[in-house]
């Protein structure tokens, strides 16, 4: 029987996360599985506890394509990092919330041991989430950068004192141009992240759509938009703009945008796969995460 290789994603900034990582790794060892750590995590954790130095390292001892699953100890930021690590493997990601307010984590820390046992028993389902494909073209139309995003791609001004001027294009047709601090192009998964803070709509994960939200736009028509999942959204930095911009994807990958640069965002052909143990209504997740008031509800009629 082939060895099962499971990535554990954690960092050493919180003592409870270090303890949780040791418990997860010990449970995997006892089940005959091979726990794996990414190089930065192994280095950080080994500085805290030498036992982590004995764990297999991703990319050196184990290739991403051989991973069965990633267990993530942390909040949404750590889960986004894990999704980046397993992007080329298709391995699903299981998030264990370590006290952060996040929407991607499947369970809370109190259920961690039971969750690991279910992973070992392969007692989980896999949910696919739409991701974005992101390309940057220069003024000559040459693709100079390509990446992807699970939550959002944002075009932002690079200098605090200067806004950028952009023109928005949907499916090859110009929609509007204006000065702004930036633009957010979000998936349903990312609709409760930057998109939400920018005044964009919350989109249920079962709805396939792309949200386009201006940031502090100086324009009469600069409202949030929701377009179909197969739409192409382009944001072009007008050559007359006085400021430069920067592209950020999931807050993790960036690329500078000079005047004339063009960012094209489409649905990616490869979704991100999330491991799920408990089917949870998204409404309940919203109420719990945002502590929404529901007192007085009399129940469904």
Establish if 38 belongs to a structural domain. Answer: yes
Better-scored residue on pLDDT, 26 or 278: 26
**What does the pLDDT read at residue 29?**
96
Among the listed residues 76, 113, 171, 256, the single catalytic one is 76
Interval 113-122 mean pLDDT: 93
Interval 250-278 mean pLDDT: 96
Query: Are 178 and 284 within 8 A, CB to CB?
Result: no
Rg (alpha carbons) of the chain, rounded to whole number: 21
**What does the pLDDT read at residue 10?**
94
Share of the chain above pLDDT 70, in %: 98
Query: Are 101 and 75 within 8 A, CB to CB?
Result: yes
Share of the chain above pLDDT 90, in %: 80
pTM: 0.93
Establish if 295 belongs to a structural domain. Answer: no
**What does the pLDDT read at residue 1?**
47
**What does the pLDDT read at residue 102?**
74
The residues near 256 (Cβ < 8 Å, ≥ 6 apart) are 158, 244, 245, 246, 247
Return the SS3 of 49: coil
Establish if 301 belongs to a structural domain. Answer: no
Establish if 168 belongs to a structural domain. Answer: yes
Say if residue 153 is in the same domain as residue 262.
yes
Contacts of 60-69 spanning 24+ positions with Cβ under 8 A? 61/36, 62/5, 62/34, 62/36, 64/88, 64/89, 64/91, 65/89, 66/5, 67/5, 67/6, 67/7, 67/36, 67/91, 68/4, 68/5, 68/6, 69/6, 69/7, 69/93, 69/94, 69/119, 69/275
**Is 150's pLDDT higher than 90?**
yes
Give the tens place of pLDDT for each residue, 14-34.
Answer: 888 999 999 999 999 999 999
CB-based burial label for 266 (10 Å; 0-12, 13-18, 19+):
middle
Closest CA to 229 of 202, 199, 207, 252: 207
Say if residue 205 is in the same domain as residue 263.
yes
Distance between CA atoms of 230 and 269, rounded to whole angstroms? 10
Say if residue 147 is in the same domain as residue 239.
yes
Return the SS3 of 156: strand
Interval 3-14 mean pLDDT: 91
Establish if 237 belongs to a structural domain. Answer: yes
**What does the pLDDT read at residue 243?**
77
CB-based burial label for 47 (10 Å; 0-12, 13-18, 19+):
exposed
Average pLDDT score over the chain: 93
Give residue 294's pLDDT band: very low, low, confident or very high (50, 70, 90).
Answer: very high
Distance between CA atoms of 59 and 38, rounded to whole angstroms? 8
Say if residue 39 is in the same domain as residue 99.
yes
Say if residue 281 is in the same domain as residue 263.
no
Distance between CA atoms of 6 and 113, rounded to whole angstroms? 15
Question: Which range is most confident: 105-119, 214-228, 287-301?
Answer: 214-228
Distance between CA atoms of 137 and 238, rounded to whole angstroms? 13
Give residue 301's pLDDT band: very low, low, confident or very high (50, 70, 90).
Answer: low
Interval 62-74 mean pLDDT: 96
**Pairing status of strand 34-37 against strand 56-57:** parallel
> Structure tokens of 154?
């944002």
Better-scored residue on pLDDT, 87 or 105: 87
Say if residue 56 is in the same domain as residue 181.
no
Say if residue 40 is in the same domain as residue 124.
yes
Give the tens place of pLDDT for each residue, 170-225.
Answer: 999 999 999 999 999 999 999 999 999 999 999 999 999 999 999 999 988 889 99
Give residue 159's pLDDT band: very low, low, confident or very high (50, 70, 90).
Answer: confident
The answer to whether residue 181 is catalytic is no
Looking at the structure of the chain, the number of domains it has is 2
Q: Say which CATH number the domain at 214 has.
A: 2.60.200.30
Q: Say which CATH number the domain at 101 has.
A: 3.40.50.10330
Say if residue 90 is in the same domain as residue 149.
no
Beta-carbon count within 10 A of 85 CB: 22
Establish if 17 belongs to a structural domain. Answer: yes
Say if residue 152 is in the same domain as residue 76.
no
Interval 270-296 mean pLDDT: 91
Say if residue 96 is in the same domain as residue 78.
yes
Return the SS3 of 41: helix
Establish if 296 belongs to a structural domain. Answer: no
Domain that holds residue 239: 132-267
Say if residue 123 is in the same domain as residue 162.
no
Say if residue 280 is in the same domain as residue 222.
no
Distance between CA atoms of 147 and 84, rounded to whole angstroms? 11
**Is 119's pLDDT higher than 60?**
yes
Establish if 160 belongs to a structural domain. Answer: yes
> Structure tokens of 44?
């950080």
What's the start-to-end Cα distance of the chain, in Å? 53
Closest CA to 145 of 270, 251, 246, 268: 246
């Amino acid at each position: 029987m082939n060895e099962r290789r499971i990535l554990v994603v954690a960092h050493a900034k919180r003592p409870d996360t270090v303890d949780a990582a040791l418990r997860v790794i010990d449970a995997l060892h006892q089940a005959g599985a091979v726990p794996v750590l990414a190089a930065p995590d192994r280095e950080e954790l080994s500085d805290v506890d030498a036992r982590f130095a004995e764990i297999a390292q991703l990319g050196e001892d184990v290739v991403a394509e051989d991973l069965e699953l990633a267990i993530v100890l942390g909040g949404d930021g750590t889960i986004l990092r894990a999704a980046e690590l397993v992007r080329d493997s298709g391995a699903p990601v299981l998030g264990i919330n370590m006290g952060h307010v996040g929407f991607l984590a499947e369970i809370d820390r109190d259920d961690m041991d039971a969750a690991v046992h279910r992973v070992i028993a392969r007692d989980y389902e896999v949910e696919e989430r739409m991701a974005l494909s992101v390309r940057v073209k220069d003024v000559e139309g040459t693709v100079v950068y390509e990446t992807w995003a699970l939550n959002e791609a944002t075009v932002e001004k690079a200098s605090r004192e200067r806004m950028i001027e952009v023109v928005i294009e949907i499916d090859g047709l110009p929609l509007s141009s204006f000065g702004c601090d930036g633009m957010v192009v979000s998936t349903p998964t990312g609709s409760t992240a930057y998109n939400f803070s920018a005044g964009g709509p919350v989109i249920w994960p079962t709805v396939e759509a792309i949200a386009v939200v201006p940031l502090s736009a100086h324009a009469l028509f600069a409202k949030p938009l929701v377009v179909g999942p197969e739409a192409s959204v382009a944001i072009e930095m007008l050559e007359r703009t006085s400021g430069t911009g920067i592209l950020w994807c999931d807050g993790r990958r960036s690329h500078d945008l000079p005047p004339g640069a063009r960012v094209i965002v489409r649905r990616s052909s490869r979704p991100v796969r999330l491991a799920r143990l408990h089917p949870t209504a998204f409404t309940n997740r919203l109420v719990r995460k945002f502590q929404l008031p529901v007192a007085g509800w009399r129940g469904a009629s």
